[in-house]
Amino acid sequence: RKEVEQDPGPFNVPEGATVAFNCTYSNSASQSFFWYRQDCRKEPKLLMSVYSSGNEDGRFTAQLNRASQYISLLIRDSKLSDSATYLCVVTSYSSASKIIFGSGTRLSIRP
């Protein structure tokens, strides 16, 4: 079993829809969680950090469920420009090598 798992998708949704996807992790000692966005043939860019209390940034909401060991990303009122691959990142700073990226979930927004 991979340490960080994501549904690869693709999620194909109409513009304006709400879409959500999860990322599960296996290491209960994980400390920090992030969502990155990666456009085709581009580098990953931080979308948002994920805090224990959950956090929202505009149309994006991230949540952490430590008991069930997953993080989620919700996108409301999706735009065409949201089409990208969304990577979850789970880290444990007891060892730098415990920076684990998921394989990404591909999201495609159609007009």
Partner 1 sequence: GAGVSQSPRYKVAKRGQDVALRCDPISGHVSLFWYQQALGQGPEFLTYFQNEAQLDKSGLPSDRFFAERPEGSVSTLKIQRTQQEDSAVYLCASSPSGEETQYFGPGTRLLVL
Residues that bind partner 1 (CB under 8 A): 4, 8, 32, 34, 42-46, 49, 87, 93, 95-97, 99-104
Closest contact distance (angstroms) between CB of 104 and partner 1 is 5
Q: Which residues pair with 25 in a beta bridge?
A: 4
For partner 1, give the closer residue by CB, 81 or 97: 97
Shorter beta-carbon distance to partner 1: residue 9 or 54: 9
Could you give the dihedral angle defined by the CA atoms of residues 55, 16, 24 and 97, in that order, rounded to the nearest 10 degrees? -70
Contact between residue 11 and residue 105 where contact means Cβ atoms under 8 Å apart: yes
- In Å, the largest CA–CA distance within the chain is 45
**CB-wise, 49 or 108, nearer to partner 1?**
49
